[in-house]
Structure 1
Amino acid sequence: MTPVSSHSPHGQSPLRTVQVLGGGSAGSSAHVRSLAAGLVARGVRVTVCAPTEADHTYDFTGAGADHVHVPRSSDPVSVAALRVACADADLVHAHGLHASFRAALALSGKPVPLVVTWHNRAYAEGARGHLLRVLERRVVKAATVVLGTSSDLVDRARRTGARDARLAAVSLPGPRTPAERGDPDRQCSKVRAELGAIARPLLLAVGSLERQRGYELLLDAARAWRTLDPGPVVVVAGEGPLRGELQGRIEDERLPVRLVGPRDDVAALLAAADLVLLPGCRESRSVLAQEALYARVPVVATAVGGIRELVGDAAELVPAGDADAFAAAVVRLLGDPQRRELLRERGVRQAATWPTEDETVAQVLSVYDELTRHRPLA
């Protein structure tokens, strides 16, 4: 006999929820894994609908959730698989624009609450940008509640027509313990040797090689770093459609930038880095910024989206699109060890203000309870 959930009203069976992921960014996938574990621990039944490779990476089943393979496409077969998975759900929670659109299609005509979390703003230009705006309107019209991970996303949901849009607590797992990290000095030396930064500053950027990430600005700024002594090594971890264009500029302009492709050791790269760079023109609740502050690595970022709200005074912020200001901020920090130490200390304090995993689960669960309080008795 299934035990009654500790938070469920007397006589009701455990709440049955479905979490829907698309391809799943690192931030949204880590959040769903953390959320699933916390909900299961509180007696909630959780099914995660996501591609099989996402379960292999994030181990939703290891968190106590059921996993159903649903491809990231919105074709009829994927939507039908999602509809079957949501058949007995009391509530469906979708993460990201495309997953939310699939969930809305799967729930069409069913009186099941749909919670949508926007972790970042989807961005594109031209015809694809128009399509994304159409999808946003469809999603907010279908959603019972839209949760935004930053104030700018909440404002955008409201402007797009959301009936109910709220700021969401979203946490990442905190820093690992020393025992989990192993020997950090040895790991740092190994990473720096691999990247050619033994006696040179190591600057790190992480993210897909797409227009909104601001890598063109990063390369513009890198021109100013060629004359520094010692000259920094700029490492960009990620893959995407701009690789050829960026690599061509790096070679033609002899820039101190290395494109190292996708990496599964970002934590080790962070531990070895002297500075983390966020040159993007579209950032909400940046996973990299959070990981950098946890790892006590100073950050230089453009003041866009939810960045200022996230990092407070614990990062060096410059105007969006200003490559000269970005380059100058990096040069100042590299030459000012006291400022770098101050930012590390501020980063620790700022990270302590972010919601914990328990607080995140509690807030989400309060939304679930609000939306399902009138569900029938078992």
Structure 2
Amino acid sequence: MAELRTSGERTSDERTDRRTTDRDRRPAGAFPGGPARVCLLIGQLGLGGTEKQLVLLAQGLRARGIDVHVLLMFEGGPREGALRAAGIPVTHLGFVSAAAGARMLPANAAAFARLVRQLRRLRPAVLHAFLFHSYVTAAPAARLAGVRVLVAGRRSLGDFKRGRHVMLAVERLATGMTDLLVANAEAVAEDTRRQEKVSPDKIVTVYNGLPDSAFAPAAPTVIDTTAPVVLCIANLKPDKGHRYLIDAVARLRDQGLPTTLALVGDGPQRRALEEQTARVGADVRFLGTRTDVEPLLARAQVVALPSLHEGMSNAVMEAMAAGRPVVATDVGGTGELLRDRGVLVPPSDGAALAEGIGRVLRDHGLAERLAARARAWSLEHLHVDAMVDRHVQIYRELLERRCAE
């Protein structure tokens, strides 16, 4: 059996005119020296972690007096309403996926032209693109539109690009046209430096941010069980490792520690996981997609994340903010979050997960210490204000550098 460890144990004139125009239209109260206008570009606005962070960033920038516009490549989604409610304009550009067939190339050429026109009309000081399709599209568009500063987000490890030489070549070309990359974890930054041969001074790390609601007390939701609840919030996809977590709770039952596993999320692995649950006879509740994260966290005795690959997990961050002990696999940026504040186990190891969860459930003092440390650290480092202020500082420094050229 793999050794269990806590994470702390792991060893020309036009440019001048443009600057003047931007400065003149800067809203009252704008962050000192910050941009007057920022455009954020993303594919869609579903319930994923990156989409959530974009909404929080957009709302925070607007609260600081910066004019924000969100540009969507493909489609909207459930988070679009939050932007519109905050008075943030959202523009649909009309890109289509490969499923459009022969229509894809002309449709995307028209959408790209629309993006360039929007940027020329809005004249943002900064264009910040999130996720692969957005940042490789943003690079040529920003050049054609004369955007002064282009920032690209790196939100996950680059495993999905391994062996895909065309994708890597396009990405490196786009990176060459980008002023700065922003990673959401040191592990993501290191992976980017290694895979894309990016110099250290071209990438910085800014942790994801959490809103006030993530830290507020919540009444627990009802889950009809007398057993301890192990909560996992993750889309039901192969790389999230749910099969090892189901194996772990079955092992705990056999060891005399029955638990109820609550799985929040949906995805292509649901049927296979339901079949596994029936085979092993574990108490697993498939709760589907949920937005009431805080009450669910309040009900859980342990939060588990068995991912095989991970960038920076919003689910782990939210559990820390709620003061819940976390057992997670030591992948990506998870170790950065849980160092001395959680239990880390190797990926793809149901026995190690079972041991980690069992240790926390049996040792209430350990559970309380880990939860308290996690909450205190998250209050200091993971609040949305820290995330937004760091982005504004980055934008300002890049604009100052551009003005000095």
Q: Identify which of 109, 113, 117 aligns with 1:76.
A: 109
Distance across 2 between alignment mates of 1:286 and 1:317 = 14
Q: Identify which of 72, 86, 91 aligns with 2:119.
A: 86
The one-letter code sitting in structure 2 at the alignment partner of 1:79 is F
Distance across 2 between alignment mates of 1:260 and 1:138 = 42
Two-structure CA RMSD over aligned residues (Å): 2.9
Q: Identify which of 8, 20, 23 aligns with 2:44.
A: 23
* Residue in structure 1 matched with residue 205 of structure 2 by the alignment: 167
> What is the 5 A alignment of 1:121-136?
121=157, 123-124=159-160, 133-134=168-169, 136=171
The one-letter code sitting in structure 1 at the alignment partner of 2:77 is E
Q: Does the CA contact (< 8 Å) of 2:44 and 2:76 recur in 1?
A: no
Q: What SS class does the counterpart of residue 117 from structure 1 fall into? A: strand
Q: Identify which of 156, 174, 193 aligns with 1:120.
A: 156
TM-score normalised over the length of structure 1: 0.84
The one-letter code sitting in structure 2 at the alignment partner of 1:121 is L
Q: Identify which of 220, 226, 234 aligns with 2:253.
A: 226
After superposition, what is the alpha-carbon deviation per residue over 1:235-280, rounded to whole angstroms, capped at 9, x for unaligned? 2111222222222222223233233221222222111111111110
* Residue in structure 2 matched with residue 35 of structure 1 by the alignment: 57
* Residue in structure 2 matched with residue 53 of structure 1 by the alignment: 77
Distance across 2 between alignment mates of 1:55 and 1:110 = 28
Q: Identify which of 225, 231, 238 aligns with 1:204.
A: 231
Q: Identify which of 129, 136, 160 aligns with 1:101.
A: 136
Q: Does the CA contact (< 8 Å) of 1:150 and 1:306 recur in 2?
A: yes
Distance across 1 between alignment mates of 2:308 and 2:153 = 21
* Residue in structure 1 matched with residue 88 of structure 2 by the alignment: 65
> What is the 5 A alignment of 1:341-352?
341-352=368-379
* Residue in structure 2 matched with residue 330 of structure 1 by the alignment: 357
Residue 177 of structure 1 deviates from its aligned partner by: 7.2
Distance across 2 between alignment mates of 1:237 and 1:308 = 22
The one-letter code sitting in structure 1 at the alignment partner of 2:281 is R
* Residue in structure 1 matched with residue 192 of structure 2 by the alignment: 157
* Residue in structure 2 matched with residue 360 of structure 1 by the alignment: 387
> Alpha carbons of 1:36 and 1:245: their partners in 2 closer, same or farther (altered >3 Å)?
same
Structure richer in helix, relative to its length: 2
How many positions carry a matched residue from both structures?
A: 360
Q: Which runs of 5+ in 2 are unaligned?
A: 1-23, 98-107
After superposition, what is the alpha-carbon deviation per residue over 1:91-140, rounded to whole angstroms, capped at 9, x for unaligned? 2101222322232353354442210122223554887x666545543442
> Alpha carbons of 1:176 and 1:147: their partners in 2 closer, same or farther (altered >3 Å)?
closer
Query: Higher RCO, 1 or 2 (CA under 8 Å, sep at least 6)?
Result: 2
The one-letter code sitting in structure 1 at the alignment partner of 2:83 is F
> Alpha carbons of 1:176 and 1:277: their partners in 2 closer, same or farther (altered >3 Å)?
closer
Q: What SS class does the counterpart of residue 127 from structure 2 fall into? A: strand
The one-letter code sitting in structure 2 at the alignment partner of 1:30 is K
The one-letter code sitting in structure 2 at the alignment partner of 1:83 is V
Q: Identify which of 224, 246, 253 aligns with 2:273.
A: 246
Q: What SS class does the counterpart of residue 241 from structure 1 fall into? A: coil
Q: Does the CA contact (< 8 Å) of 2:319 and 2:326 recur in 1?
A: yes
After superposition, what is the alpha-carbon deviation per residue over 1:323-356, rounded to whole angstroms, capped at 9, x for unaligned? 2111111112222222111112112222133143
Q: Which runs of 5+ in 1 are unaligned?
A: none
Distance across 2 between alignment mates of 1:173 and 1:205 = 20
